[in-house]
Amino acid sequence: MRASKFFNSLAGLLAGLTMVALTPALAQNSVKVGVIAPFSGPFASLGGEIENGIRAYMKQHGDIVAGRKIEILIRDTTGPSPEIAKRLAQELVVRDKVDFLAGFGLTPEALAVAPVATEAKIPMVIMNAATSVITTKSPYIVRFSMTLPQVTAPMATWAAKNGIKQVFTLVSDYGPGIDSETEFKKTFTAAGGKIVDSVRVPLRNPDFSPYVQRIKDAKPEAVFIFVPAGDQGIAFMKAFTERGLAQAGIKVIATGDLTEDYQLEAMGALALDIVTSHHYSAAHDSPENTAFLKAFNEVSGNKMRANFMAVGGYDGMAAIYEVVRKLGAKIDGDKAMDILKNMKLLSPRGRIAIDPETRDVVQTVYLRRVQKVDGQYYNVEFDKFDNVKDPGK
Ligand code: PHB
């Protein structure tokens, strides 16, 4: 090497070192987690719950892991909006160089981002989106929430065992709704029950009145419902009550999305005694849940009650922390996936594990009844099915 060339490269090296020295060590070395979800629009509560769940975990565990600062980059899809979700994911990967993609309240948005995770080889940590097929769309997807078939099958089994023989189903007309309708029909009819009729309602702004009238006319013993968490549950229960279906003796059974904890207070007496099946209730009695709720209330300023999506955010973040603890300086996507797909956690909902074959969560599904506890409405657990996998896989 000629002397001048040697000195040039030495100068370059020194300049580089000076830059490293000038950059605050922690910030430069931070682990970036891009969180994609709706934070405004009709599904804003999904993003709010997920974010506060993430922040509750960080509040309990600090924001430095293995000497690296954990940085959260919040991105609002305003959705349901798959195109925006995909663009946001591409920006997070290319411009912000995130180590993890996370969040995902809505199925269509998760599906749109799957190819981005595959191409970038970046783990995609699903904190809610619950259509069964999602985890098959990329080997980089792992899910810490639930699947609709997983939480629906126990409801169908319970209904058949408890003397309900004829059911009308009403679901939201997209992935999770179709999954829950299919699973309910399969398990309920296999147990001897009969499906009287089925309707699917639009995902955006459904007007429930005509459907509720159809249910009333069909005179089933019960109606099985899936609507996404948020204010649709309240709209359905209002229409149900106004048209006198309860007086006509028609019961409501549902997945816990209908009576989710955040909306439950607003639904109030309309929801009393409704039986649902789900993986999390704010009334779950465990030290982990008590500590989680305390941290959640601190970070959310007591503005919202934690629901199942908050727990999805909290557990997804616990898993990300474990990966950073194990991999330290460099988060390699493939190594991260090996850790994520074998993850076991003691969650506020109970023990959970990821099934390494499907990268879906295996967990207890609870039967709950809406009751008033100390003047507030809660989903009170009264039965459970342990180690439930997604039945479709
Ligand atoms: C979904 O879009 O996958 C989804 C949204 C809200 C829910 C459940 C599933 O309550």
User: Using CA positions, which residue lies closest to atom 3 of ligand 1?
Assistant: 129
User: Using CA positions, which residue lies closest to atom 6 of ligand 1?
Assistant: 228
Q: What is the pLDDT of residue 21?
A: 44
| Best of 171, 257, 279, 311 for a ligand 1 pocket test (most atoms within 8 Å of beta carbon) | 257
Of 329 and 144, the one with more pLDDT: 144
For tokens 């769309």, name the residue: 137
The b-or-e profile of 91-104 (16+ CB within 10 A means b, else e) is ebbeeeebbbbbbb
Q: What is the pLDDT of residue 3?
A: 46
Rounded Cα distance between 343 and 366, Å, is 22
pLDDT confidence bin for 392, thresholds 50/70/90 = confident
User: Is the per-residue pLDDT at 19 higher than 80?
Assistant: no
Work out which ligand 1 atom sits closest to the CA atom of 129.
3
C-alpha 130 – ligand 1 centre gap (Å): 6
User: Is the per-residue pLDDT at 7 higher than 80?
Assistant: no
Evaluate: CB of 176 within 6 angstroms of ligand 1: yes
Q: How far is CA 175 from CA 95, 97, 106, 121, in A?
A: 31, 30, 10, 25
Per-residue H/E/C for 2-31: CHHHHHHHHHHHHHHHHHHHHCCHHHHCCE
Average pLDDT over residues 300-317: 97
Segment 176-191, tens digit of pLDDT = 999 999 999 999 999 9
φ, ψ of residue 38 in degrees (nearest 5): -75, 125
Token pair in block for residue 16? 């580089």
Q: What is the pLDDT of residue 26?
A: 54
Q: What is the pLDDT of residue 4?
A: 47
The b-or-e profile of 117-131 (16+ CB within 10 A means b, else e) is bbebebbbbbbbbbb
**Among candidate residues 132, 141, 137, the one with its CA nearest the CA of residue 102:** 141
Total Cβ atoms within 10 A of residue 373: 10
First to last CA, the chain: 61
Express as a percent the part of the chain with pLDDT over 90: 91
Q: What is the pLDDT of residue 16?
A: 45
Q: How many CA atoms lie within 13 A of 389 on its CB side?
A: 9
pLDDT confidence bin for 11, thresholds 50/70/90 = very low
Q: What is the pLDDT of residue 393?
A: 84
Supply the DSSP string of 245-305, one letter for each residue. Answer: TTTTT-EEEEETTTT-HHHHHHHGGGGTT-EEEES--TT--SHHHHHHHHHHHHHHTTSS-
pLDDT confidence bin for 24, thresholds 50/70/90 = low
pLDDT confidence bin for 156, thresholds 50/70/90 = very high
Q: How far is CA 274 from CA 185, 225, 252, 268, 304, in A?
A: 20, 11, 6, 11, 22
Contacts for 235-244 with beta carbons within 8 Å, 24 or more apart?
235/206, 235/208, 236/170, 236/208, 236/212, 237/267, 237/270, 237/271, 238/208, 238/270, 239/208, 239/209, 239/211, 239/212, 240/208, 240/212, 240/270, 241/270, 243/209, 243/212, 243/213, 243/216, 244/216
C-alpha 128 – ligand 1 centre gap (Å): 6
Work out whether the CA dihedral 9, 14, 19, 23 comes out positive or negative. positive
- Mean pLDDT score across all residues of the chain: 94
Rg of the chain (C-alpha set):
23
Q: What is the pLDDT of residue 25?
A: 54
Segment 353-385, tens digit of pLDDT = 999 999 999 999 999 999 999 999 999 999 999
C-alpha 326 – ligand 1 centre gap (Å): 31
Evaluate: CB of 131 within 6 angstroms of ligand 1: yes
Evaluate: CB of 257 within 6 angstroms of ligand 1: yes
| Best of 106, 259, 260, 311 for a ligand 1 pocket test (most atoms within 8 Å of beta carbon) | 106
Strands 360-373 and 275-278: antiparallel
Evaluate: CB of 229 within 6 angstroms of ligand 1: yes
Work out which ligand 1 atom sits closest to the CA atom of 174.
2
Evaluate: CB of 130 within 6 angstroms of ligand 1: yes
Token pair in block for residue 305? 């009650």
Evaluate: CB of 126 within 6 angstroms of ligand 1: no
| Cα–chain center distance at 296 | 16
Q: Which of 17-26, 72-81, 205-214 has the weakest average pLDDT?
A: 17-26
Segment 61-111, tens digit of pLDDT = 999 999 999 999 999 999 999 999 999 999 999 999 999 999 999 999 999
Q: What is the pLDDT of residue 2?
A: 46
Contact 145, 110 (CB under 8 A): no
pLDDT confidence bin for 28, thresholds 50/70/90 = low
Token pair in block for residue 124? 């995609």
Contact 125, 337 (CB under 8 A): no
User: Is the per-residue pLDDT at 1 higher than 80?
Assistant: no
Residues recorded for the chain: 393
Strands 360-373 and 31-37: unpaired
Average pLDDT over residues 239-261: 97
Going across the sheet that includes 124-126, the strands are: 64-65, 68-76, 31-37, 100-103, 124-126, 141-143
Evaluate: CB of 276 within 6 angstroms of ligand 1: no
C-alpha 62 – ligand 1 centre gap (Å): 29
Token pair in block for residue 2? 């000629």
pTM for the predicted model, two decimal places: 0.93
Evaluate: CB of 261 within 6 angstroms of ligand 1: no
Supply the DSSP string of 153-185, one letter for each residue. Answer: HHHHHHHHHTT--EEEEEEESSHHHHHHHHHHH
Average pLDDT over residues 226-248: 95
